[in-house]
Amino acid sequence: MTKRDYYEILGISRDATPEEIKKAYRRLAVKYHPDRNLDNAKESEEKFKEVSEAYKILSDPEKRRIYDQYGHQGLEAEMGAGTGWTGFDFDPFKIFEEVFGRGDVFGGDIFGDIFGRRTRTRERGGEPGADLQYNLEISFKEAAFGTEKSIEVPKYEICPTCKGSGVKPGYHPQICPACEGRGYVEVRQGFFSFSRTCTQCQGRGTIIRNPCKQCHGTGRVKRVKKIKVTIPAGVNDGSRLRLRGEGEAGFGGGPPGDLFITIRVRPHPLFTREGDNIIIEVPISFALAALGGEISIPTLNGKVRLKIPSGTQSGKIFRLRGKGVPHLNSFQRGDELVKVVVETPVNLTLEQRQLLKRFDELGRNNGQPKVKEFFSKVRKLFR
């Protein structure tokens, strides 16, 4: 069978740099890794080997030079007849680990992060529990000043009968005869040697012959747990809290997952929020705006008196310092912004109409400076 061109396998040009070769390998190795293609593992495994083979040759300057000059036959002749096309044995999975590293690019355990928990089970002796999500609705004031809530979360917890072992009390798990407790088996095909998760014990290294009756050998039972949640002052709508270890229990001694709580804040009938400031619109009468006076303003801590100067215009904003929302994890607070809106009277009586007309006549010369200024600009513009 004719072997494919290595450059074609990696999808690179013949003058590709070492960085381009490595980049192409990384992309294809992740794509075809057998642990990521469990439904089509055999075909993916062959492509994974092919990609590893191409990278092993092209990443070595001397082997690449021989291949570029003489092709596959040149490599076989150089390494010695009868020893295979390369003349050396290598593990494609070892190459994968060498290129990526255990904490490279993807963070943490590369096999656990990319290919799921199956490989992580083998390495750590247990499968981590799943993380859980919970939406918690609180009031506007509870978000501002913090609160404590009790929630009920349905989740899997460690079985109290077998303590998570999955084994009936009085019995013990047995060493898996297929992998001898390693959780994986060595597979050798030609010059390739690699390890695969043991299918008999699913990577755990042990087999349960006498399963616990309460959890049926899983080591976990479904329960509803009451959890107290402390909401810090200053949280906003959409904030997320993380409770470590409050997710579902792991398998086979694996660590529990985490519980993520998303805060949903109910709208307030009077206040809106902008950062740590709160905003309120307060309607005032035409007379109060013109003459001035005092009004009672609601805040998060009760009512305060606010002085309205005479001649206050609609849309004027007054600032009440320190009456807003506390800064998250701080003793400082935002402000309350009071926007006054002058309400135009409606449903006027005949007497009120007459008084307003008289008022308007008396104030045309000096009682409405903004109106006078506006029409003065208009006249200058259209001269």
| Residue at 122 is within a domain | no
Across 93-102, 105-114, 197-206, 347-356, the highest mean pLDDT is recorded for: 347-356
- Quick one: average pLDDT of 98-107? 50
Looking at residues 166-180, what average pLDDT do you find? 89
pLDDT in tens, 143-152: 999 999 999 9
111 and 198 together in one domain: no
Q: Do 222 and 194 share a domain, yes or no? A: no
Could you tell me if residue 212 is inside a domain?
A: no
Shared domain check, 180 and 239: no
Domain that holds residue 178: 174-207
Q: Specify the pLDDT at position 366.
A: 66
Q: How far apart are the first and last CA of the chain?
A: 94
- The CATH number assigned to the domain holding 136 equals 2.60.260.20
Asked if the structure places residue 277 within a domain, the reply is yes
Residues 339 and 259 placed together within one structural domain of the fold: no
- Report yes or no on 124 lying in a domain: no
**Which parts of the chain fold into alpha helices (H)?**
6-10, 18-32, 41-58, 61-79, 92-100, 110-115, 117-124, 140-145, 286-291, 350-363, 369-381
Mean pLDDT score, 189-214 = 79
Q: Calculate mean pLDDT across residues 306-324.
A: 95
* pLDDT exceeds cutoff 70 at 262: yes
Total structural domains in the chain? 4
pLDDT average, residue stretch 73-89: 54
Q: What is the pTM of this model?
A: 0.58
Q: Are residues 313 and 367 in the same domain?
A: yes
Sequence-separated (6 or more) residues with CB below 8 Å from residue 166: 159, 173, 208, 211, 212, 215, 217, 218, 219, 252
Residues 98 and 167 in one domain: no
Tokens of 178: 């297929």
Residue 122 has pLDDT above 60, yes or no: no
**Same structural domain, 236 and 307:** no
pLDDT the model gives residue 334: 95
Please write the tens of the pLDDT for every residue from 347-364. Answer: 999 998 999 888 888 766
